[in-house]
Amino acid sequence: MVPQSRFLPAPLFLALLTLPLAAQGMDPGDPDYDPLEDDSLWGETVSPDQTQTTSPELTFLLEEPDRTPHHHQNQIRITQSSLEDGWADLRQCHNDVAAIRRMVIVYNEAVIDELQVESTRNIESARAEGDRVDLRGVQEDAEVCVTARMKIVEDEGDGVYRLENGPFVRRFLDGYFPMRVTMAVSWGDLDLRLAETDPADQEGFEVVTSDHGFMFDTLFEGELRTLVRLRNSH
């Protein structure tokens, strides 16, 4: 998977950097050394012929695939200051991460701040730096959780606020792998309600609401982009 973070609208892209780059003789002591171009760091990945589709078109899955899919969990907390400056608190966990020697989770630098690794399981090392989290020695049943500030809330006027995320995607070469995404957005006692989601609530994309927030849960292939509108209740 090759990250395309230059134009992602939100920091929710998993990048498995597995290109067979010819750089085995690179010297980490060289000032021009780039670990992303060091082929000695890479491990084996699943074969692209194990993917379910070669199309980026979004398809919701109604049954779990044979192989447990990567689960991308997000908790977003909106405060009064979020409505004023757009910045919300993010806690994000990646579960059932593919076992690989190295993985990089890439975010959109323009909308992410204070990125930190909160916890890991079955991962030798995890380091947050700038707009990415660098994972080394990812083993079976791995998990990594991060926290950050994310600029995601856009004031559209007339008491309406817009949140966009995506694309959520797991891709290797021309193949797309199944992925599960869960997102919970809470606003506490703020006078807000969920006005719209795109995709809308449907089979394969379940939306649950309350007076204090909402969540969606989905299993899919291809690329998922989401749009949410919140509205003042009065």
What is the arithmetic mean of pLDDT over 192-216?
A: 96
Instruction: Name the phi and psi angles at 75, rounded to 5.
Output: -125, 120
Contact 86, 154 (CB under 8 A): yes
Looking only at the bridges linking them, the beta strands covering 87-97 and 132-151 are antiparallel
111 within a domain of the structure (yes/no): yes
Q: What is the pLDDT of residues 31-80, one digit of tens each?
A: 443 443 433 333 334 444 444 567 788 999 988 887 778 898 999 999 99
The DSSP letter of residue 21 is -
Q: What is the mean pLDDT of residues 225-234?
A: 92
- Is position 3 within any domain? no
pLDDT of residue 189: 93
CATH number at residue 183: 2.60.40
| Banded pLDDT at 214 (limits 50, 70, 90) | very high
CA dihedral sign of residues 188, 194, 199, 201: positive
Please give the Cα distance from 171 to 174 (Å, whole number). 7
Q: What is the mean pLDDT of the chain?
A: 79
- Please list the residues that pair with 157 across neighbouring strands: 160
Residue 137 has pLDDT above 50, yes or no: yes
Q: Tell me whether residue 115 is in a domain.
A: yes
Q: Is the pLDDT of residue 212 over 50?
A: yes
Q: What is the pLDDT of residue 54?
A: 73
Bond prior to 199 in cis (omega within 30° of 0): yes
| pLDDT score of 47 | 42
Residue 133's Cβ-side half-sphere holds a number of Cα atoms within 13 Å equal to: 29
Instruction: Decide if 220 is inside a domain.
Output: yes
Residue 103 pLDDT greater than 90, yes or no? no
The arithmetic mean of pLDDT across residues 13-26, rounded, is 32
**Which one is predicted more confidently, 170 or 15?**
170
- 45 in a structural domain: yes
Q: Is the omega angle on the peptide bond into residue 178 within 30 degrees of 0, that is, cis?
A: no
- As for how many domains the chain has, the answer is 1
Structure-token match 């780059």, residue found: 21
**Would you say residue 5 lies in a domain?**
no
Residue 74, strand partner residues: 92, 183
The type of residue at 50 is: Q
* CA distance linking residue 64 with residue 226, whole number of Å: 21
pLDDT computed for residue 97 by the predictor:
81
**Distance separating alpha carbons of residues 6 and 20, to the nearest angstrom:** 22
| Cβ atoms of residues 179 and 220 within 8 Å | yes
Domain containing residue 177: 13-232
- Are the C-beta atoms of residues 27 and 33 closer than 8 Å to each other? yes
pLDDT in tens, 143-200: 999 999 999 999 999 999 999 988 888 776 677 888 899 999 999 999 999 999 999 9
**Is residue 1 domain-resident?**
no
